[in-house]
Amino acid sequence: MGSYRICMCFTRKFRVTEAEPPEDVKEAFRKYAEGGTHMTAEQLRRFLVEVQGEEEDAAATASQADTIVQQILEKRHHIAKFTRHALTLEDFHHYLFCPDLNSPIHYKVVYYIYIYIDEMVHQDMTAPLSHYFIFTGHNSYLTGNQLTSDCSDVPVIKALKKGVRVIELDIWPNSTKDDVHVLHGRTVTAPVELIRCLKSIREHAFSASPYPVVITLEDHLTPDLQAKVAQMLTQTFSKMLFYPESDCLKELPSPEELKHRIIISTKPPKEYLEAQTAKDNENNSQRKDSDDDEWGKEPSSLSIHKEADDKSDNAMTDLNPSFEEDDDDSKVHTAPVYKRLIAIHAGKPKGGMKEALKVELDKVRRLSLSEQALEKYAESHGTDIVRFTQRNILRVYPKGTRFNSSNYKPQIGWLHGAQMVAFNMQGYGRYLWLMQGMFRANGGCGYVKKPDILMNIGPNNQVFDPKAESPVKKTLKVKVYMGDGWHMDFKQTHFDLYSPPDFYTRVGIAGAPADEIMKKTKKKEDNWTPVWNEEFTFKLTVPELALLRIEVHEYDMSEKDDFAGQTCLPVSELRSGIRAVPLFDRKGEKFSSVRLLMRFQVL
């Protein structure tokens, strides 16, 4: 029971009532309980196979059904569990509405509670690293905005605990030039010692996933400090550190081969030294390559409000990279031990973009582009980018004007096979929700196998063309039954001071441009447990890369609608049938109780 004060004169009482099961749930119960008042474990097993699409293996599904019945009875009927082994309609509804027992994707299900995360991984992990999308952070050490926030190992730890597999560290000499700091160069971000970040990576690297962590170093060091970094790396990581067998790998190892290993990736250091010297003598329109964030003037003359004024200059920087080839002389600029630790080279061939995207049979490398550069070159070199990413690594990073640590649309990178779509994990917003949704796939291990369409080579050396029109391959049907849990996770006056909330749900697709659309249910007024019972249909031309977007909002007639939860789910991993969908807050943290009951069909 709760109450709202109306006009300071009287109090309006309300009661949160449990909504009854939707008609589809009642019908399923009637059918599989064969008209009875209880559903046995065997009847539940049939429901799991025929409606929920679980595997046909009778022994496995029987065990699964037994576990579900046992857990539901233990939770809801502490005494009855000793006298019966069957579910009532309300028990059945409770099971369906429980995300831990009835997840929408194959991810951390309770009856797998004793299985390690690598056993929840269901994709082939034996292909080269270039065959995977990798959960990638940008400026992983920043606690907030790109100009004035502190640098710390705390956001690095948070990222690793969430399954991020690529950590970016910008390394600079300290003020006395005798140690190495991590900071965002040419800004007033307070530094953190490199060794502290490395120790935190060692401690937390594999807390969420056993698959390799790549450390991308943006190196601004002198050779003596590079030697010091090499010593730090080898002493901190010891046997965890992956040493390449040759100066340049001919093919990237697989995530399976690299379990529990740390991989170093950076450009050959000579380029940083040369670029740093040359930059002082060049004007802004000719500034260097696309791998570094370019900040121009010292931050004392910058502010977040100058973002729009600086946009055109930074765009020119991002769109006109110069590519420099390493030669043998580069070794004299580099501490030899340090160079031997670089497993994935970020080489820059001389010439334009065509040369940069050249696929070489005797070596693999990493290329980095800003989001703007990718958009530009995708128009003119789309299939070249796809072909490049079949063997090599492409990293995409936010443009230099995202001072507030905002993010960009990741689909452009994914549609072109970019493995490392680097995001500001300390930010939040819809684009970060998409990133989090993509990496809920494959057990949340941080590596998602790229679909065959991006890896196949057809007649006449043809590859997937992201701009080409494609026919509809699959149809996704989504039914939104109801929602619950807000009264548990929010104060009763959070959404409205004077009445219960008016919730509606937005459902849509993020993916290929032809597939993107958003639809919404009607709003349900004055109800903490809204029942919508609305169905939506989505035609998908590239279902392999489609994400199902789900958001709940509370309608506000006089102001902006209030946010009430969100999630994104990879369509390729959706489990058919009636499922409980847990919702997350703006930063991607899971709510304790808020969830939707939905039905999914992929035709």
Closest by CA position to 223, among listed 256, 181, 270: 270
Q: Which residues are paired to 519 by β-bridges?
A: 507
> For strand 503-510 and strand 517-520, is the pairing parallel, antiparallel, or unpaired?
antiparallel
Closest by CA position to 545, among listed 444, 433, 413: 413
Q: What distance, in Å, lies between the first and last C-alpha atoms of the chain?
A: 44
Three-state secondary structure of 148-163 = CCEECCHHHHHHHHCC
The whole-angstrom separation of Cα 380 and Cα 354 is 10
The whole-angstrom separation of Cα 371 and Cα 396 is 6
Which regions of 222-351 does DSSP assign to beta strands (E)?
262-266, 342-345
Handedness of CA 64, 67, 73, 76 (dihedral sign): negative
The whole-angstrom separation of Cα 376 and Cα 526 is 48
Handedness of CA 210, 211, 217, 222 (dihedral sign): positive
> 400, 318 in Cβ contact below 8 A?
yes
> 90, 379 in Cβ contact below 8 A?
no
The DSSP code for 254 is P
Three-state secondary structure of 292-323 = CCCCCCCHHHCCHHHHHHHHHHHHHHHHCCCE
| 138 classed as catalytic | yes
The whole-angstrom separation of Cα 82 and Cα 42 is 18
Element containing residue 596 per DSSP (H, E): strand 590-602
C-alpha to C-alpha distances, 432 to 139, 245, 424, 436, nearest whole angstrom = 15, 36, 8, 6
Q: Which residues are paired to 105 by β-bridges?
A: 574
Residues 6+ apart with CB under 8 A from 61: 45, 48, 49, 54, 55
Alpha helices in 390-471 (DSSP H): 411-415, 430-438, 452-455
For the chain, the C-alpha Rg in angstroms (whole number) is 26
Catalytic residue, candidates 93, 94, 131, 184 = 184
| 333 classed as catalytic | no
* Positions marked active-site: 138, 184
